[in-house]
Structure 1
Amino acid sequence: MADISIKRAHQLPLEQARNAAQQIADRMVNEFDMSTQWQGDVLAFKRSGVSGTLALRENEAQVDVNLDFLFKAFSSTLEEKIARNMDKFFGTTA
């Protein structure tokens, strides 16, 4: 089970949703030194202590994040930041 799981509904065509997800990934790479890799319509991301996925569906985007023990103390702060980015790029709560 993910430590953080956030869904957002969107009305974007899949290609635009993928572009939005890539923008989020680019920010994660720059801000948190994460590696990212697309696997179909799922963007996997990873760094020491944090891993997860951003899955795109026709009308929904879902991010699931797994945190190591040391990062669990920051889970609420990370969740807020992820939610803001998901709102910015995808829209409202699914």
Structure 2
Amino acid sequence: MPDIHIQRAHALGLSAAREVARRWAEKAERKLDMQCRYDEGAEQDVLSFTRAGASGSLQVTAQGFELNAKLGFLLGSFQPQIEAEISRQLDELIKPQDGVAAVPTAPQAGAA
């Protein structure tokens, strides 16, 4: 069976990483008909997911995410596309959302 293994480092901290993982789970349940279970730990959480033809887990820590999934025979032929989509979704959820801080502010007229 084809496997998917994705790791992403982040600087979110555990609380924000939990929120990212929960948003990913909600999207997976809604769009992919996944059944998800979220188990919190003191230093690491585990999000388990399953559906016909796929199962796996997402480990959530203060410093990173690690996703491991097994695909069944039918989904196995789509492994590259599935892996790319999961990677894209995680990257989108991890990226900074405020963007405003990166834009320099122009000096106001008359300021000295």
Compute the displacement of 1:90 (Å): 2.5
- Could you tell me how far 1:89 is from its partner in structure 2? 1.7
TM-score of the pair, normalised by structure 1: 0.90
Counterpart secondary structure, 2:11: coil
Counterpart code for 2:71: L
Structure 1 residue matching 2:38: 3-state secondary structure: strand
Residue equivalent to 1:31 = 31
Is the CA contact 1:61–1:90 (under 8 Å) kept in the aligned structure 2? Answer: no
The answer to whether the aligner puts 1:45 opposite 2:74 as a matched pair is: no
* CA drift at 1:73: 0.3
Identity over aligned residues, as a percent? 35
Q: Corresponding residue for 2:7? A: 7
Q: Which amino acid aligns with 2:34?
A: M
- Residue 62 of structure 1 is matched in structure 2 by 66
Is there any run of 5+ residues in structure 2 with no aligned partner, and where? Answer: 96-112
8 Å contact kept, 1:9–1:90: no
Following TM superposition, by how much is the alpha carbon of 1:2 offset from its aligned partner in structure 2, in angstroms? 6.8
What secondary structure does 1:76 align onto?
A: helix
> Quick one: higher RCO (CA 8 Å, sep 6+), 1 or 2?
1
- Alignment-derived partner of residue 73 in structure 1: 77
Query: How many matched pairs?
Result: 91
Which sections of structure 1, spanning at least 5 residues, go unmatched? none
